[in-house]
Chains A and B, each alone.
Chain A
């Protein structure tokens, strides 16, 4: 093993083990996806020739290009996922802000609120 492999293999192995442990606890697809990424990275670091072989089969040419394209695709997917999480989180935040706003509703200082639906100047206007 070369220096790069000595540095990266333990990290990828640790990440994979953590993911396996998490996967046992709750079978979420995201754990499986991440485990696949760490394991693929581990195999490609240990056997660099494999990336070139797969790239050749796919018609990409160089293994480096295959890794680059895969990274781009995964990054795009990751951004899409994070955008979705952010979108849903924002929706929850809006709901919280709404509850807070309704809880803290304040009557105007110059006008008595029409709480009971009693007659108002508006009746005359609407009925015109």
Chain B
């Protein structure tokens, strides 16, 4: 065995995921996991301690983008070779991990982006699908990246990419910011099909269709106040 696999770290940003974090971590047993509790008011932190490799805790709620960057910073201190961002709510399928990791571990890519539209999106509402299609079209136009899915939290970064990319958008807009930076930094990227499973719970807590306006505002603010 090479040390490639053991230098793979999964970063899981979690905010009030007490109902789901344990199940998600159980499905990832055997992997190095870093849970960043983003100031949860429930028992997310305590539950994560039981199953995660490392648990970090923001003293206040900073946002998913901020939590992911915290996890990446920490993973880099652990000499990570590949860093995976993985949702805490169980939407992602751990079975997709080997396929996602391969291009980074064999050195052919710096970033691997999961695509639900190349793979499967189970129970995705029509309006959500439409909004994501529009967002993807917009991202392709603005960043020049040939992607089929934006705002998919399942990604893999090589250590070089993780060091180069700096997420400054603390909240939802970080997904678009990452794509912009992949483009501007000229990082090698590819997409891999992944399975996203929507449930009533994840839909209730996840991004709303109306968040598109908010994300646009956050991106604009990020460009004005650098």
A101 is contacted by which of B33, B52, B57 (Cβ under 8 Å)? Answer: B57
Contact segment of B59-67, B135-143, B184-192: B59-67
Contact segment of A5-13, A56-64, A106-114: A106-114
A93-B62, A98-B66, A122-B32 known; A84+B50 contact, CB < 8 A: no
Q: In the bound complex, how far is the Cα of B80 from the Cα of A115, in angstroms?
A: 10
A104 is contacted by which of B31, B56, B98 (Cβ under 8 Å)? Answer: B56
Tell me, rounded to whole Å, the shortest Cβ–Cβ distance linking A23 to chain B: 24
Tell me, rounded to whole Å, the shortest Cβ–Cβ distance linking A43 to chain B: 33
The tally of residues in B whose CB lies under 8 Å from a CB in A reads 48
A98-B66, A123-B5 known; A108+B48 contact, CB < 8 A: yes
B54–A101 contact, CB under 8 A?
A: no
Chain B, residues 203-226, CB within 8 Å of chain A (1/0): the string is 000000000000000000100110
B1–A123 contact, CB under 8 A?
A: yes
A87–B221 contact, CB under 8 A?
A: yes
Q: Does A118 contact B (CB under 8 A)?
A: yes
A117–B7 contact, CB under 8 A?
A: yes
20 inter-chain pairs at a CB distance below 8 angstroms, sorted by A residue, are A84-B225, A90-B170, A91-B168, A97-B39, A98-B62, A98-B73, A101-B74, A102-B73, A104-B57, A105-B54, A107-B53, A113-B32, A113-B78, A114-B53, A119-B1, A119-B6, A123-B5, A125-B30, A125-B98, A126-B4
A114 contact set on B, CB distance < 8 A: 6, 32, 53, 78
Interface centre among B2, B31, B39, B79 (most CB of A within 10 A): B31
Q: In the bound complex, how far is the Cα of B19 from the Cα of A27, in angstroms?
A: 55
Which B120-154 residues sit within 8 Å CB-CB of chain A?
Answer: none
Q: In the bound complex, how far is the Cα of B39 from the Cα of A101, in angstroms?
A: 10
Besides A120-B31, A122-B32, A126-B102, 19 other A-B contacts (C-beta < 8 A): A94-B62, A94-B170, A97-B39, A97-B60, A98-B70, A101-B56, A105-B55, A105-B56, A105-B74, A106-B54, A106-B56, A107-B55, A109-B49, A113-B32, A114-B53, A117-B6, A118-B6, A122-B8, A125-B30
Q: In the bound complex, how far is the Cα of B37 from the Cα of A106, in angstroms?
A: 11
B5 is contacted by which of A98, A102, A126 (Cβ under 8 Å)? Answer: A126
A123 contact set on B, CB distance < 8 A: 1-6
Closest 10 CB pairs of A and B: A121-B30, A123-B5, A126-B5, A123-B1, A101-B56, A120-B6, A122-B5, A108-B52, A97-B58, A98-B70
Interface centre among A102, A122, A123 (most CB of B within 10 A): A122
Q: Does B182 contact A (CB under 8 A)?
A: no
Tell me, rounded to whole Å, the shortest Cβ–Cβ distance linking B15 to chain A: 13
For the complex, would chain B's binding face be called helix, strand, loop or mixed by DSSP majority?
A: mixed
Tell me, rounded to whole Å, the shortest Cβ–Cβ distance linking A88 to chain B: 6
A110-B50, A122-B30 known; A102+B56 contact, CB < 8 A: yes
A108 contact set on B, CB distance < 8 A: 33, 48-55
A117–B31 contact, CB under 8 A?
A: no
